[in-house]
Amino acid sequence: MKTITIHVDELVLLDFQRYAKTHSRTTADMIREAMEHYRISWNQGGSLLDLQPANLGTCVRALDHDDDLLDEMLTARDEE
């Protein structure tokens, strides 16, 4: 295992230390586990289709034919 040095917010470190103490584990072990969980979630490479849509509120106005950029995007792509 490689030793590293990281700078951590004091409150975050205190949370890790408290949790580790109440679960009879070391803080270093907790941080290693958190890093591994992050690495696994980051490395999954999921699809945008897997995400839930965001609720951005109500429409300000209805869209009309000039508001659609798809045709312009496709035309620009075809011209390349």
Better-scored residue on pLDDT, 71 or 20:
20
Q: Are 16 and 30 in contact (CB under 8 A)?
A: yes
Strand, coil or helix: what is 36? helix
Q: What is the pLDDT of residues 7-35, one digit of tens each?
A: 999 999 999 999 999 999 999 999 999 99
55 three-state secondary structure: coil
CA 26/CA 19 separation, integer angstroms = 9
pTM for this prediction: 0.50
More confidently predicted of 29 and 44: 29
What does the block give as tokens for 36?
Answer: 């591994």
d(CA 61, CA 55): 16
Per the model's pLDDT, the better-predicted residue between 53 and 66 turns out to be 53
Q: Which domains does the chain have, with CATH numbers?
A: 1-45 (1.10.1220)
Q: Which residue has the tokens 């951590």?
A: 8
